[in-house]
Amino acid sequence: MTTSAAQPPVIAIDGPAASGKGTIAYNIATTLGYHYLDSGALYRVVALRALEHDVGAGDAAALATLALDVDVSFRAGRALLGGRSVGDALRTEAVSAAASRIAIHPAVRAALLARQRAFRTPPGLVAEGRDMGTVVFPDASLKVFLTATAEARAERRYKQLIDKGIPANIDGLLRDIRERDLRDSTRAAAPLVPAPDAVLLDTTDLTIAEVTDAVLALHCVRHDPA
Ligand code: CDP
């Protein structure tokens, strides 16, 4: 699929939890001087607000209102909620699980759609999540779907947490990742599936640098095929 003439290019990077999307998408955006959208952070911010305000994960209407009204902004890729830095609060397993529960509601997804598309400004955007290539930016100039075994992803998340001094349990992380994979890929609204025109990359045995280089090479081929 080609980029429509009037729109800045989008590189869509989708994949399951801890597949490396965030780091890779941020590196690519920085290298190309593009904007960066961490769509998961939007779902996480709504989940954090819902937990703080005792809104149940099943209350689609109240969650959609929260999603429409939430005062979220980003500075250097880090989320701010009402001006307060919430980066670490967003990464707890409680918020991860709540985000995946609220993300099943079509009304919540619809409420976040315009917000996500507003990130598409010149010179271009690198957007990462679950449905960037399928729903939010179906005309993206490049779509990449990252995979890795659940074990490799649990190991990565474990290292991330330990490096930050946060206690973690590898078996618990693996269970959480499997639960979230199942919920994300079997939901009716915008399930986690590769777009038909996405390039699939298995990152199990690749470093972050190798994956970043592979995606940049794909981008160069699409952007400047000569
Ligand atoms: O970083 P990680 O892959 O663990 O999670 P994330 O990208 O921050 O997303 C957290 C949760 O939000 C996911 O488990 C999905 O349920 C949901 N999400 C979604 O439904 N659609 C997106 N575009 C991004 C995230």
Domain ranges of the chain: 10-217
pLDDT digits (tens, 9 = 90+) for 130-178: 999 999 999 999 999 999 999 999 999 999 889 988 888 999 999 999 9
How many Å apart are CA 122 and CA 133, to the nearest integer? 19
pLDDT digits (tens, 9 = 90+) for 45-56: 999 999 999 999
Centre of ligand 1 from the C-alpha of residue 2, in Å: 26
pLDDT digits (tens, 9 = 90+) for 95-135: 989 999 999 999 999 999 999 999 999 999 999 999 999 99
Centre of ligand 1 from the C-alpha of residue 38, in Å: 9
| CB of 17 sitting under 6 A from ligand 1 | yes
How many Å apart are CA 112 and CA 67, to the nearest integer? 6
Q: What is the CATH number of domain 10-217?
A: 3.40.50.300
39, 42, 43, 105: residue to mutate for ligand 1 pocket, most atoms within 8 A of CB? 43
For 34, residues 6+ apart whose C-beta sits below 8 A from its C-beta are 9, 11, 28, 123, 124, 125, 126
How many Å apart are CA 35 and CA 159, to the nearest integer? 27
Centre of ligand 1 from the C-alpha of residue 126, in Å: 16
Q: For residues 193 and 134, is the Cβ–Cβ distance under 8 A?
A: yes
Check the CA dihedral 140-119-132-26 and report its sign: positive
pLDDT of residue 3: 47
